[in-house]
Chain A
Amino acid sequence: MTLRVKTGNQLNVTERFLARVAELKSRFPEGKQKSALLTILHELQNDNNDWLSIEAMDKVAELLNIKPIEVYEVVSFYTMYNQQPVAKYMFEFCHTGCCMTRGVEDLMDYTCQKLGVKPGETTSDGLFSVKGVECLGACGYAPMLQLGDFYHEFLTPEKMDALIEDCRAGKVELISQV
């Protein structure tokens, strides 16, 4: 059970985001704007350090003219919305089926050991976390992980080292361009 608290932080609502909301709402028939909810939540989450505070959810409810509870129930249902602050680089390893067959567990152990965390934990500098998630639909390219919007496939310990180095140097893209 997640305890939702108001953070008091300033919500980052950009002009680009508001324009995007208007565009997304126009895709659905009159009176069915709620359909745009899932996509709008993704966009707002991208602008706000990859998580949704209660203010963020209330803001979306206001933009779509629906009740806040309708946003809360959606956010709590879908796994891609984070209700708590997360690490900047969240390594989401697929651990289902083929990825397990092709040794993702060894790779997760390796990564955890290298970063000094357990699965589900965040490093003390808030940069990295390691997480096992269910099938990401890249079974032929296993083992793989998702970082931001992108997939990193056919991973080996060497590739993992390089990826962590790139993250530390800030060279890794997280959000795909509109």
Chain B
Amino acid sequence: MGKKILLEHVNVPNIHTYEVYRSKGGYDSVEKALKMAPNDIVEEVKKSGLRGRGGAGFPTGMKWSFIDKKSGRPRHLVCNADESEPGTFKDRYLMEKLPHLLVEGMITSSIALEAHLSYIYIRGEYMWVYRILERAINEAYANGWLGKNIKGSGYDLDLHVTCGAGAYICGEETALIESLEGKRGNPRIKPPFPAVVGLYGNPTVVNNVETIMDIPWIVMNGGDEFAKIGIGKSTGTKLISASGNIKNPGVYEIELGITVEEFVMSDEWCGGMQTDRPLKACVPGGSSVPILPANLLFKTAKDETRLMTYESMADGGFATGSMIGSGGFIVYDDRQCIVRNTWNFSRFYHHESCGQCSPCREGTGWLEKVTWRLEHGYGNMEDIDLLWDIQRKIEGNTICPLGDAAAWPVAAAIRHFRHEFEYHVRYPEKVKDRKHFEAEPWEKVKHLMELLYLPILLDLVVLAQFCIMLFLNYKQKLCLFMF
């Protein structure tokens, strides 16, 4: 069993209530942090090497040190709980099971940033989780962990939870701030970065749920202890949301640095494939990251073992590597059609594009249309190049990374599975049924059966003769002659 930082107490009954959580050492980090100098906490986080768990993997300590403390304007910490990346469902699990850990992390982090007003922004679909968090915050207020003069330290903090209403784009930090201000979720042009001009024009830090939940442990045990877990610049543990065609889908906490093969095949984690169908491909970090074919998943292009770390996952760049991203680990077996999945993701990005930048607004629409055409057997060979061309024109030409996120899966699918796109063009009749690859292995050997018909027929004739001869009680000699 690997080390558990976040999920250590997750199976304790009623851990979501204040009393049980407090009895397990909850809120100790707040007491400790109140006695520390804020900048010392930032230094501890820097030492820990903790990297943002929301997808980009930017070092958290560095992000915190960018916040403008000199201007004297109020500062804010905002927790990004707008988890909507297809394949990622870890934050919901964390907030549902351990709401007080998030509240504790928010208080400790706010102390480090000297923020006096902090928010948790949760996606609108998680309405029941919103209620859970509201209850947890009320309990924290009632027990003196929030409000004026926390535990007699003279430090004030207000923490509130607020919700979105179904927009993937609000997971982008500036769009999230816009949405939190009660507007449409259109991302802002950077710079200025939120660390200088963020919520209500004040310096703001936006962190993922998992990042914030790691902070109490770092404050209690020190940054160096945290840095001991993991390999190189990938320190600590990471939650991976495993889904797709595997035996045990779910949320797993891993120490960064275990091998990908162990993660997929070991019973402790995914438990191998769902059925006896072989692994075909894997999206290792949420729908936005490039897909990896089976031959590049367990080994890198240099034939080294691929590990669950930021660096190893990205080994080979986008040509033969991918990203660990937000940890949405989707496994596909050979029944799944890559073209169909690409179309599905393109539809998602088309639906979720905010419409601000033309390359993304128009481009995602074209990606969806062209992938639909290919998937349903109406495409031609030029369409594949057209797709490549469209994605090249979206990537890097938009205000926020949604454009890139829409382009990368398409590019990777063409790069690694071009033959499958071509198959769709060559055999349009075969792909009319949406389960075309479920039937495929049989289809591939069907024509071989024709070769067997003649021998079987001959065998039957011989057998019939033999029976007739036995029936008529012919001499053995004659029988042998017949054969």
Tell me the chain B residues, 146-173 only, with Cβ under 8 Å from chain A.
Answer: 158, 160, 162-168
Is A37 close to B, CB under 8 A?
Answer: yes
A97-B287, A135-B85, A137-B123 are contacts. A29–B249 as well, Cβ < 8 Å? no
Contacts of B87 in A (CB 8 A): 97-98, 139
Interface contact B345-A39, CB-CB below 8 Å:
no
CB distance from B247 to the nearest CB of A (A): 12
> Which residues from B are CB-within-8-Å of A79?
165-167
Q: Mark B71-93, 1 if CB is under 8 A from A, else 0.
A: 00000000000011111110110
Q: Number of contacts between A and B (CB, 8 Å)?
A: 149
Closest A residue to B242 using CB positions: A140
> Residue A134 contacts which of B241, B245, B348 (CB distance < 8 angstroms)?
B348
Residue of B nearest to A146 (CB): B125
Contacts of B167 in A (CB 8 A): 77-79
Query: What is the bound-complex CA distance between A100 and B249, given in angstroms?
Result: 15
- Asked if A39 meets B163 with Cβ closer than 8 Å, knowing A137-B126, A149-B128, A150-B128, the reply is yes
B241 adjacent to A140 (CB under 8 Å) = yes
Question: Does A73 belong to the interface (CB within 8 Å)?
Answer: yes
Instruction: Assess whether B336 is interfacial by the CB under 8 Å rule.
Output: yes
Do B126 and A74 have beta carbons less than 8 Å apart? no
Q: Complex formed: what's the CA distance from A171 to B91 in Å? A: 29
Distance, CA A177 to CA B250, complexed state (A): 27
Q: How far is the CA of A139 from the CA of B241 in the complex (A)?
A: 8
* CB contact between B166 and one of A35, A80, A150 (< 8 Å): that residue: A80
In the complex the two chains form, what is the Cα distance from A78 to B169 in whole Å? 10
B249 touches A34 (CB 8 A): no
Does chain A have a CB within 8 A of B230?
A: no
CA gap between A56 and B225 in the complex, in Å: 54
Q: Evaluate whether A139 and B351 lie within 8 angstroms (CB atoms) in the complex, with A29-B117, A74-B184, A96-B344 already known.
A: no
CB-contacts of B171-188 with A (<8 A): 179-185
Q: Do B86 and A139 touch across chains, with their CB atoms under 8 A apart? A: yes
Bound-state Cα–Cα, A105 to B162, Å: 33
Instruction: Specify which chain A residues have a CB less than 8 angstroms from the CB of B287 in the assembled complex.
Output: 96-97, 135
Is A101 an interface residue, CB under 8 A from the partner?
A: yes
Provide the A16-43 mask, 1 if CB < 8 A to any CB of B, else 0.
Answer: 0000000000011100101111110110
Extra 11 A-B pairs, beta carbons < 8 Å, given A97-B243, A98-B86? A42-B127, A70-B182, A78-B164, A95-B344, A102-B244, A134-B347, A135-B84, A139-B88, A139-B243, A139-B244, A150-B128
- Hey, which bits of chain B sit against chain A, CB under 8 A? 83-89, 91-92, 117, 123-128, 130-131, 134, 158, 160, 162-168, 179-185, 200, 241-245, 249-251, 287, 328, 330, 332, 336, 340-341, 344-345, 347-348, 351-352, 354, 434
List the 10 closest pairs (A to B, CB-CB), nearest first.
A78-B165, A34-B182, A37-B182, A97-B86, A140-B249, A80-B166, A139-B243, A149-B127, A79-B166, A80-B165
Could you give 28 example pairs across A and B, Cβ below 8 Å? A27-B158, A28-B160, A29-B117, A35-B181, A38-B179, A42-B163, A64-B182, A73-B183, A79-B166, A80-B124, A80-B125, A96-B348, A98-B243, A101-B336, A102-B244, A134-B347, A134-B352, A137-B123, A139-B87, A139-B88, A139-B241, A140-B241, A140-B243, A141-B89, A141-B249, A149-B127, A176-B127, A177-B131
Interface residues of A (CB under 8 A from B): 27-29, 32, 34-39, 41-42, 64, 70, 73-74, 77-81, 95-98, 100-102, 105, 134-142, 146, 149-150, 176-178
